Amino acid sequence: MIAADKPVKPASLMTTNLVFISRSLRHSLRNTEALLMAIMLPVMLMLLFTYVFGGAIDSSGDYVNYVVPGIILLCAGFGSSSTAVDVSNDMTNGIIDRFRTMPIKSLSVVTGHVVASLARNLFATGVVFGVALLVGFRPNASFLEWVLAIAVITLFILTFTWLFAAIGLVAGSPAAASGYGFALLFLPYLSSAFVPTDTMPSWLQGVANHQPITPVIETIRGLLTGTPLNDSAWWAVGWCLLILAIAFLWSISSFRKKAGRR
């Protein structure tokens, strides 16, 4: 029987978002390789930095406490970068035309990917914290400090995920999206993630001290291990909100511009 029933009322924005979130979560769970990579890579990096480089950087054995916040951000950046590929995949597939010609807010397809990325990354962050505790990470944070640290990490993941979503929207192909995303992942290395910035040449210190990743790392480090916070928390939140707003608006405008073009 091919005939359908009488016309129905279009789906609400809430339903649309939920449907797209569940779609993206399914995609994440079925792409086992990417999921495994998103968890394994940060764990390997942490082991690498703690056991291989750690001794040379700080022979007191305390390096693990220094490096964990950096690894967490690297993990979040890497995990959210796959959003660029997911979004670009959708944009280059015929399915986006179907979504766009339905009476729904079709940008929700991107929201779905963003929420799935957030879920994926928070899970991966949890695993990294678990492994970190096993290899000697000893945070001295209170409950409130933990909550704040997780809030900052969540904001950071959300910001970078929207940024990668925008990159996925403007990239010509999934491969290009992946390439652009990769470039951004160098940012944590040029910050205080792995070594204090005052060990860098002075011209590089200027870059490292004033790029968005450094205050975010200093904030998480301060909250979890009690290093001085100064004003880095404000800078961290400010940077994140600014980038988030730009990435979001950029996504909306490129999503509109891409209509009918694949």
Q: Where are the alpha helices (DSSP H) in 48-173?
A: 54-57, 63-91, 95-100, 108-134, 143-170
Give me the least distance between CB of 1 and another protein, in Å please. Answer: 5
**What would the two tokens of residue 201 be?**
């040449």
Q: Give whichever of 201 and 260 is closer to another protein, judged by the CB atom.
A: 260
Give me the least distance between CB of 158 and another protein, in Å please. Answer: 24
**What would the two tokens of residue 205 be?**
């210190």
**What would the two tokens of residue 51 be?**
């056991």
Give me the least distance between CB of 185 and another protein, in Å please. Answer: 25
CA distances from 178 to 79, 152, 216 (A): 12, 25, 24
Q: Give whichever of 45 and 109 is closer to another protein, judged by the CB atom.
A: 109
93 close to 176: Cβ distance less than 8 angstroms: no
Q: Give whichever of 199 and 253 is closer to another protein, judged by the CB atom.
A: 253
Within 13 Å of residue 246, how many CA atoms lie on the same side as its CB? 9
171 close to 180: Cβ distance less than 8 angstroms: yes
The candidate with the shortest Cα–Cα distance to 74, out of 160, 152, 137, 164, is: 160
Q: Which residues bind another protein (CB under 8 A)?
A: 1-11, 15-16, 19, 23, 26-27, 30-31, 93-104, 259-260
Q: Give whichever of 93 and 142 is closer to another protein, judged by the CB atom.
A: 93
Q: Give whichever of 23 and 150 is closer to another protein, judged by the CB atom.
A: 23
User: Letter for the amino acid at 198?
Assistant: D
- Quickly tell me which residue has 């210190």 as its tokens: 205
Give me the least distance between CB of 176 and another protein, in Å please. Answer: 19
Q: Give whichever of 1 and 56 is closer to another protein, judged by the CB atom.
A: 1
Give me the least distance between CB of 85 and another protein, in Å please. Answer: 13
Give me the least distance between CB of 136 and another protein, in Å please. Answer: 39
